[in-house]
Amino acid sequence: MTPRVGYQGEPGAYSEAAVLEHFGGDVQPLPRASFDAVFDAVEREECEAGLIAIENSLAGSIHRNYDLLLRHNLWVVGEHYLPVHHCLIGLPGAALEGIRKVISHPQALAQCEGYLGRLGGVEVEPVYDTAGSVKMVREQGDSRLAAVASRRAAELYGMAVLAERIEDNPDNITRFLVIACQPNPGAVGIGGDKTTIVFTLDNQPGALFKALSVFALRNIDLTKIESRPLVGSPWEYLFYIDFAGSTEDPTTRRALSHLEEYATMLRVLGSYPRHR
Amino acid sequence: MTPRVGYQGEPGAYSEAAVLEHFGGDVQPLPRASFDAVFDAVEREECEAGLIAIENSLAGSIHRNYDLLLRHNLWVVGEHYLPVHHCLIGLPGAALEGIRKVISHPQALAQCEGYLGRLGGVEVEPVYDTAGSVKMVREQGDSRLAAVASRRAAELYGMAVLAERIEDNPDNITRFLVIACQPNPGAVGIGGDKTTIVFTLDNQPGALFKALSVFALRNIDLTKIESRPLVGSPWEYLFYIDFAGSTEDPTTRRALSHLEEYATMLRVLGSYPRHR
């Protein structure tokens, strides 16, 4: 049976493109209305894996998904980088000059902020999905309304591309994580893997410095650090760290066991092959 | 002349309450439609200061304002903590059971996610402001529509409070920063101040560890670290740090001069009295 992979959005969403690129087309992408619904679908085994956006090189982290990683008992088993090129999409026959309102996912709107500002007198309104916004333009049938989404979404819904590559910065890349019920079975070898962890620390001077020492003293390269509020303890934080190495490597295992000496909570979310 | 202080939102917004609390009522709050407009108003000297939300103890940082601090040439001169209590607000005579759609600022909706989910079958829609959402309920005159905002906003717009303290967590506190054209003139004494800085590092193993060492080796307490994408350099970051101490303290000055040895960019956003 073709494996099913859950993603957030409608057919034509960037997440769907990431699913198809990552798994080489030999999967059945399973659309879900929200990130929560993707986590739920994986947990209930309605699909073999899920793919969730975790960070964009311009707009930053998708915090909702950091929070959901903690709330669910799933494993990170892969990552995927997708270059993002946005189009302004309207009804067939609509003119760029006539556009008065632009709808899309808030991240997509943020990534085209400069372009949309230069259009002049155009109202922007966040909706839940990029491809979904194209569907809404078609349903509303208003030639003053446009969506920000992929060329593929325009084609899928029979709509017109009014402008292309409207993202403010050409270095617009979204990083996705692949989530599953079971951990990735093995390391791909020294330097080939990444690990994602989450931990909390006592709120005292030097606590984060000590935590980072377990990596620095072993020359382990951190690729990302993200802090999220620890709910119930105002101004204390959860730290999410990505680093080079697999939990199969003895050095990584020693670093994590050293971190346990300082951390009040430590959870390994998964080791997985680095996307090249 | 009464000093003017810019804030984001409509009269009745939580930011307006923070302005009045912080400055003791002896100021004229100046509503602005967006955070950008607050920064612009301070820069153009339409007001003597601005007050912007920077973090909530449940929902996390307001990244837009971190980005705007970097983009503008203003100083952080103060901070304020405001406990947030949300109400569900409808038309006079509306019944809680009849509510089908709830509008508010995305942060307010996120903070009442549990409560709104338990209402059952209620659609949520983000709008630009909490108090503005109350105004919209009044304008639309639909008794199935409700807003999430403060009790004061309900009173200002003559609307009904359908439920009170609907926030999921009682520890719901928003931290605001006060911004101005000139830095805060002086330190309030050892232990009485905080400083906010932003810096970038070379992307190499141990870089953040070295940067944090300048504080840890001097027993300087970090109260917050936030990373934001460095636009134009995918997967490199700007680090925003808050720490105990003023740039008037010799220890702080030595730490910052030590940090300059590692940082590729370092900017002090301001020293200011800690809010107690």
- Angle between the N-to-C axes of helices B207-216 and A207-216, in degrees from 0 to 180, rounded to the nearest 10: 140
Which residue in B205, B224, B231 is closest to A219 by CB distance? B205
Does the distance separating the beta carbons of A205 and B221 come in below 8 Å?
Answer: yes
A138-193 pLDDT tens trace: 999 999 999 999 998 999 999 999 999 999 888 899 999 999 999 987 655 555 79
At CB < 8 Å, which residues of chain A contact B? 55-60, 63, 126, 169, 171, 173, 204-206, 208-210, 212-213, 215-216, 219-229, 231-235, 237
The CATH code belonging to domain B87-164 is 3.40.190.10
Domains B87-164 and B193-273 share a fold: no
Whole-number Å distance between alpha carbons of B55 and B225: 12
3-class DSSP assignment, residue A225 = strand
Whole-number Å distance between alpha carbons of A98 and A45: 46
Active site residue A239: no
Which residue in B57, B227, B234 is closest to A234 by CB distance? B57
Does the distance separating the beta carbons of B226 and A205 come in below 8 Å?
Answer: no
DSSP string, A141-207: T-TTEEEEE-HHHHHHTT-EEEEE---S-S--EEEEEEEESS--S---STTSEEEEEEEEE-SSTTH
Chain B partners of A227 at a C-beta cutoff of 8 Å? 224-227
The encoded tokens of residue A186 equal: 């093995």
pLDDT of amino acid B231: 84
Which residue in B221, B225, B229 is closest to A227 by CB distance? B225
Residue B191 burial (CB < 10 Å; 0-12/13-18/19+)? exposed
pLDDT of amino acid A190: 56
CA atoms within 13 Å, Cβ hemisphere of A33: 1
3-class DSSP assignment, residue B135 = helix
Nearest CA distance, B276 vs chain A (angstrom):
14
Task: Answer for the pair B23, B8: CB distance below 8 angstroms, yes or no.
Answer: no
DSSP string, B7-41: EESSTT-HHHHHHHHHTTT-SEEEEESSHHHHHHH
pLDDT at B37 over 60: yes
Q: Beta B4-8 vs B28-32: how paired, if at all?
A: parallel
A205-241 pLDDT tens trace: 899 999 999 999 999 999 999 999 998 888 999 999 9
Whole-number Å distance between alpha carbons of A135 and A149: 10
Which residue in B173, B216, B228 is closest to A206 by CB distance? B216
Whole-number Å distance between alpha carbons of A30 and A38: 9
A63-116 pLDDT tens trace: 999 999 999 999 999 999 999 999 999 999 999 999 999 999 888 998 899 999
Mean pLDDT across the stretch B208-229? Answer: 95
pLDDT-derived band of residue A126, with 50, 70 and 90 as boundaries? confident
Q: For residue B164, which amino acid is it?
A: E
Nearest CA distance, B93 vs chain A (angstrom):
30
Question: Residue B257 has what DSSP assignment?
Answer: H
Domain with residues A4-83+172-180, CATH architecture: 3-Layer(aba) Sandwich (3.40)
pLDDT at A26 over 90: no
Q: What percent of chain B has pLDDT over 70?
A: 98
Active site residue A174: yes
Considering only residues B101 and B111, tell me which one the structure prediction assigns the higher pLDDT.
B101
**CATH number 3.40.50.300 is the correct assignment for the domain at A193-273:** no
At CB < 8 Å, which residues of chain B contact A? 55-60, 63, 126, 169, 171, 173, 204-206, 208-210, 212-213, 215-216, 219-229, 231-235, 237
The encoded tokens of residue B75 equal: 């100083």
Question: Residue A97 has what DSSP assignment?
Answer: G
Whole-number Å distance between alpha carbons of B77 and B84: 23
3-class DSSP assignment, residue B101 = strand
Q: Where are the domains of chain A?
A: 4-83+172-180, 87-164, 193-273
3-class DSSP assignment, residue B153 = helix
pLDDT at A1 over 90: no
Chain A partners of B216 at a C-beta cutoff of 8 Å? 205-206, 209-210
